[in-house]
Chains A and B, each alone.
Chain A
Amino acid sequence: GAVVSQHPSWVICKSGTSVKIECRSLDFQATTMFWYRQFPKQSLMLMATSNEGSKATYEQGVEKDKFLINHASLTLSTLTVTSAHPEDSSFYICSASLGPAWEEQYFGPGTRLTVT
């Protein structure tokens, strides 16, 4: 099946710094990528939808200036957490859509962010 990778898998950063997370579709071109956040023992919450070459669409309550998303190519989307704070510590997971059928959405392994 299609493979989605994320880098890094785990990152620790200091409060006030920024951290970038990459999401790559390794063997297919993804027209749409999604970013989710999962707090411990909570469900995955959709943060934003990213389409190649256009601005991301953010869900209500997600600060677009804090969570910068860039989808520069059909195989790469990046999420930058700016001025990170401890409450941003979470598990960030991306998914990539192969096409219009919903089952063609593949999840990455996730990135665990810890802000100290």
Chain B
Amino acid sequence: GAGVSQSPRYKVAKRGQDVALRCDPISGHVSLFWYQQALGQGPEFLTYFQNEAQLDKSGLPSDRFFAERPEGSVSTLKIQRTQQEDSAVYLCASRDRGPNEKLFFGSGTQLSVL
């Protein structure tokens, strides 16, 4: 695709609901990242995939957060039993193979947990 695509753009969930956020990276990009951005803060690293392998999930806040990228392209970030503190913008970014390549960000999914 032309850019990184994320859906939905906005998601409102009741506390306790499960949500799934989708990221469609730029075609051919090997690396994919998920970040969480709270209001007025910088993007905080959640997890990183290289192709289908999840190389780093050290930033996931709890075991309620789960990410997958089964075929090495589209990725899904799932949050189970959502809590109010999960409210944030979830950004997905992809990058070509080299570690010094720039990140291309999607527009994010704004999650509001009521």
A and B associate in one complex: no
